[in-house]
Amino acid sequence: MTSYVPTPADKFTFGLWTVGNVGRDPFGEATRPALRAPYLVQRLAGLGAYGVNLHDNDLVPAGASAAQRDAIVREFRQALADHGLVVPMATTNLFTDPAFKDGAFTSADARVRAYALHKTMHAMDLGAELGAGTYVLWGGREGTEVDAGGKLLDALGWFRDSLNYLAEYSEVQGYGYRFALEPKPNEPRADIFLPTVGSALGFIATLDRPDLFGVNPEFAHETMAGLSFPHAVAQAIDAGKLFHIDLNDQKMGRFDQDLRFGAENPKAAFFLVKLLEDTGYAGPKHFDAHALRTEDEAGVWAFARGCMRTYLILREKARQFAQDPEIQAAISAYRVEDPALTPLTTFSAANAQALKAHTFDRAALGARGPGLEALDQLTMELLLGVR
């Protein structure tokens, strides 16, 4: 019987800000004490995690001296070595400091834009020192509450210039980062630039080095806007741009909840896991979520264990789906091939003329039932454990 116990080979990761979340929200103070980074590393390793990710100030407080910074990093690296965890991804906090209240790379204040580059380069140095190969850029403050300032096109230009600058810095320093843009539609800004995976992919094509940039889609972010996360991830995979992924859960239309993976949308979570497994996604599976504010420290580790366990359960369900003869027969019946027509859909002048001349039985095409109700019910029965 499958035990659903994670191992480092599963490549599950958490951010210091996830298991380190103290339960504060806009209406209430912290409900849990802060936990030190080396302790978080120890506990995650004990649960079978692969790695831990961080913003710069998750580890090194803003304003720390060079000596303090080096001591903190040294202790953290020792904890990683002692417990066998890695740092696959790093990022920068460009949203907490009041300096970024109207944007970082897209601020209308050139001094703020320069400071954002300054802070990000230092954070890239830290990530490279810890071995990170992916650098995520979440533009949480890159947006507007009002558009009267007229900066929309300028802001996209400033954003583009900043990303080009950071890519050059990475290459000159020899860091070799792959940058992953993380889309989100809103919160904490009323409207955030590059709100969806599709918009981020379009923007990447305008950069000087689009080969260095991909996306870091997040389950909650697409769900907030009422979009399908598996569809967004499929688009990223199709474009060769799934550089990293954030797994959590979310009720549609709510504030950014960062719920335990699979907690609200198990069917969407299943199709996501199936997509990642079927396409051979080999990168880290990062749980960008946190325990409910109601929880104490024991609840934090129950949350972390639950994220990983749910993924493993759904991975096993995906294997069962692929081996279920009735499900596979329904899929085969759904997908109709036509040996005579299929060659004509590869373009040539002759094929185009032959396809134009072909007579289709529209009534028969419209009358056919593809069997999706039955297929969806079979899927639900599989997920509910009765198949």
290 in catalytic set: no
55 in catalytic set: yes
Q: What is the pLDDT of residue 2?
A: 77
Residue 109 pLDDT more than 90?
A: yes
Give percent of the chain with pLDDT exceeding 70.
100
The model's pLDDT over 230-276, given as tens digits with 9 standing for 90+, comes to 999 999 999 999 999 999 999 999 999 999 999 999 999 999 999 99
Question: H helices of the chain, where?
Answer: 16-19, 37-47, 56-59, 66-83, 110-129, 152-173, 197-204, 219-224, 229-238, 266-278, 297-323, 325-334, 349-357, 362-367, 372-383
Q: What is the pLDDT of residue 3?
A: 87
Residue 179 pLDDT more than 80?
A: yes
- The structure tokens 């600058």 sit at 165
First-residue to last-residue Cα distance in the chain: 16
Assigned token pair, 120: 């990000």
Residues 35-58, mean pLDDT to the nearest whole number: 98
Contact 94, 116 (CB under 8 A): yes
Identify the CATH homologous superfamily for domain 8-316: Divalent-metal-dependent TIM barrel enzymes (3.20.20.150)
Residue 150 pLDDT more than 70?
A: yes
Q: Has this prediction a pTM greater than 0.95? A: yes
Place 81 in a pLDDT band, splitting at 50, 70 and 90: very high
Residue 112 pLDDT more than 80?
A: yes
In DSSP terms, 91 is beta-bridged to 55, 136
The model's pLDDT over 297-354, given as tens digits with 9 standing for 90+, comes to 999 999 999 999 999 999 999 999 999 999 999 999 999 999 999 999 999 999 999 9
Q: What is the pLDDT of residue 310?
A: 98
Of 56, 58, 246, 249, the active-site residue reads 58
Backbone angles phi, psi at 341, to 5 degrees: -85, -35
Question: H helices of 212-285, where?
Answer: 219-224, 229-238, 266-278
Residue 35 pLDDT more than 80?
A: yes
Q: What is the pLDDT of residue 1?
A: 58
The model's pLDDT over 192-223, given as tens digits with 9 standing for 90+, comes to 999 999 999 999 999 999 999 999 999 999 99
Residues 57-82, mean pLDDT to the nearest whole number: 98
Q: Where are the domains of the chain?
A: 8-316, 325-383
Cβ atoms < 10 Å from Cβ of 361: 8
Pairing of strands 143-144, 191-192: antiparallel
CA 44 → CA 37, 79, 273, distances in Å?
Answer: 11, 11, 22
Of 10, 25, 55, 161, the active-site residue reads 55
Mean pLDDT of the chain: 97
